Amino acid sequence: MTSLYDFVRNVYDASMRKELLLEKCSRHFDFLIHDYGFKAPKIESDETEIQLVWLSPKTGVELMFDRMENTAYIFLHQLQNGRMVQEDPEDDEAPLTYFSIEDIVELRAPEMDLADLGPTAELSGPQLDKNLELLTGILKFHCKDILQGNFHFFSTLEAVERMRRQPDGSN
């Protein structure tokens, strides 16, 4: 049984980790607010992940830290009525409204190696800063149009993703 002291310490530790993470992410991602008009990030967390979300009128940037896989992911969303929408995986006809940064890099900068993204378990460690620098660099240089609300490239990404989902397993 967890003591009250352990419970309070765990809540405090989780709160401090969230605050530290928010501070680091704010420092690296402040260009979204200053250059593209995004709102300050919202942060949510549970036992398995920490999620930060920046929203502009048309675009959502979702940064997720997966504690189980010990890594970070970024997804770019085309907002629907000002909100991020998760597609129904059973609906093959629904338009795809978000893609991972890996999908974008695969087509726009295939020479880039995302293997440089290291583990992010230590939210105060230098690897986290390195990961955040790499991810923000990708956003700044390969995603300007999407950050500005231009989603023409999403049709190309959607075509590639639909091909991947073909039952014959083609990629």
Task: Please indicate, yes or no, whether the overall pTM of this predicted structure exceeds 0.85.
Answer: no
3-state secondary structure of 107: helix
Structure tokens at 136: 């923000």
Mean pLDDT of the chain: 82
What are the DSSP E strand ranges found in 19-170? 42-45, 49-55, 59-66, 71-78, 98-100
Q: How far apart are CA 31 and CA 54, in angstroms?
A: 11
**pLDDT the model gives residue 138:** 93
**pLDDT the model gives residue 145:** 97
**pLDDT the model gives residue 122:** 56
**pLDDT the model gives residue 5:** 45
Q: Which stretches of the chain drop beneath a pLDDT of 70?
A: 1-17, 89, 116, 118-125, 168-171
Q: 65 Cβ partners below 8 Å, 6+ apart?
A: 21, 49, 50, 51, 71, 72, 120, 123
> Do residues 38 and 56 lie in contact, with contact meaning Cβ atoms separated by under 8 Å?
yes
**pLDDT the model gives residue 62:** 96
**pLDDT the model gives residue 50:** 86
3-state secondary structure of 143: coil
**pLDDT the model gives residue 108:** 94
